[in-house]
Amino acid sequence: MSDLHCPKNIQRIGSLLFQASGAGEAEAELATAELVKSSLLGHDSHGVMRIPEYLGFIEDGSLKTQVPIETKQTSATTAEVDCGYGFGAVGATRAIELGIEIATEQGTACVVTRRCNHVGRLGSYVHMAADAGMLAIATCNSPIYGHHVLPFGGREGRLATNPIAYGAPTAGNPIVADFSTSVSPEGKVRFYRNEGKLVPDGWILDSNGKPTNDPNDFYGPPKGGILPLGGGAGHKGYALGLLVEILGAVLTGESTTSTETFGNGVCFLVINTNSFTQTDTFRSLLTQSATYME
């Protein structure tokens, strides 16, 4: 492995680039660490290829550096986190931490974000909750500029790739699932294009609604679209994507079609397993289920 491809060196270089653009050391370290971790786990779509994109966001002013994160508890079990358009990973980390804090005291928590930039790999945050002994579900939408996903049978995007993630504790490593409600996240299509490769069958359509394997047909112009999860039952994936849109935008009073909205709308649902059964019992039972499914 060359020095350039060493994770520690990539972490250092990414952090220094962000700091040179005005970021504080702590936020630069956290944002870079999330991107490096994603690439190391094989999710390059949400990995270090995003460093230049984030630097571009800083340059054009859509990503703010060294901004305060404001939290507001709206009820005993609900809260919102205003991320101030800072690094999405920083805001989302604070949101899941707040969800864990509330669920520890109240049994359940629902925390939403406002003015949140790209959060990266959603599974990272539910993993944090699972490590704390919590069952967590997360959703993440994007506004109209990210509406790449075609309605079932449609030709023009109406939703983003709108991922859902969940995490749950076991007696060993937690169970974590993280998936888009489309066949593929846009970042994976971008990764294939950057690598000069064709995407697999059944991922994208061109602007005429015809299946294609060329990622350039998706980006256009004219722009194509990504298919919803489910193939012949793609209406189910699209319905899940709509649920993410409801939790990420409508629940917080945001328009789903506004051109003024930027970033991700994140919703974390956190359940303290002690609310229903002892955490040790929960871990043991889920471990049995996981072993049975192997």
* DSSP letters for 94-162: HHHHHHHHHHHHHSEEEEEEESB-----THHHHHHHHHTTEEEEEEEE--GGG--BPPTT-SS--B---
Class of the domain covering 70-183+227-275: alpha beta
Per-residue confidence (pLDDT) for residue 1, from 0 to 100:
47
The dotted CATH code for 3-60 is 1.10.1530.10
pLDDT score recorded for residue 262: 87
pLDDT tens digits, one per residue of 128-184: 999 999 999 999 999 999 999 999 999 999 999 999 999 999 999 999 999 999 999
Domains of the chain by residue range:
3-60, 70-183+227-275
Quick one: tokens of 73? 């508890």
Q: Which residues of the chain carry a pLDDT beneath 70?
A: 1-5
Q: Convert the pLDDT of each residue in 38-49 to its tens digit.
A: 999 999 999 999
d(CA 142, CA 122): 13
